[in-house]
Amino acid sequence: MFDSSLKNKFNFILVEPSHPGNIGAAARAIKNMGFTNLSLINPKDFPNEDAFYRAKGAKDILENAKIYEKLSNALKDATLIFGTSARTRTIPWPTKTSSELSIVLKKALESSNAKVCLVFGREISGLSNEELQMCDYHIKIPTDEDFSSINLSHAVQIISYVLKMEIDSIDLLPEMENESPTFQENEYLIDHFDQVMKKMDFYDQENPKQVKTRMRRLIKRLKPDKLETGILRGFLAKIEQVLNKKN
């Protein structure tokens, strides 16, 4: 059975959806699988009667949907973020197919502050590189190579189904005491690294060669825990003290 105690730890996020019918269909899709949390980033046309019509029995999901101006605001408290993408990027990010989520999910759900976000992009252009780089992993839904485009609400249905199957297969989780760093805390760490690297003239700011992006990918791949994040911040602060004394 689906563990309803875990359902509130998941948040489905639609970035700038242009068609209200897709919003309603997405709400219906997640409710079919027992999830309840839906967030919208700058929806083009919402609230809208078409969205509520397409939602059918999931109107409560739409009524409680949270709306944000920026994706980063919706991710602030997230401890694990998946971004859906059908396209290969210049700087490849850690990628999972929709059938490879079990180990990552189970580890994330062992944190007392676990909040897992699933981010879906625009109907026409998907997620931007910047938005995908906010995510810990990219998810690719295996499709035919000659036709990889999937309707937004269909993608939500597939991912929510896979998540339900994964959660159904998870045995009793250990008592959750440890906390994971949130998206916001990781952003502070990434910015702190960048700030120190600039003070050290570590890279040419006129030609950064995506140093900060690669540092972001490194931290997201290593996934330091909350204590380790604090140690790294303290280490960087000490370096700043030394640099300031020299100046």
Pairwise CA distance, residues 134 & 119, whole Å: 10
Q: So what's the pLDDT on residue 207?
A: 76
Q: So what's the pLDDT on residue 165?
A: 87
Which part of the chain is CATH 1.10.8?
183-246
Which part of the chain is CATH 3.40.1280.10?
4-169
Whether pTM exceeds 0.85: yes
Consecutive 10-residue runs of the chain (247 residues): their mean pLDDT?
71 96 96 96 93 94 96 96 74 65 82 93 89 89 80 93 85 69 94 92 80 89 90 94 83
What CATH number does the domain located at 4-169 have? 3.40.1280.10
Q: Are 20 and 48 in contact (CB under 8 A)?
A: yes
What CATH number does the domain located at 183-246 have? 1.10.8
Helix (H) or strand (E) holding 12: strand 10-15
Amino acid making up residue 191: D
Backbone angles phi, psi at 110, to 5 degrees: -80, -10
Amino acid making up residue 69: E
Q: Are 98 and 139 in contact (CB under 8 A)?
A: yes
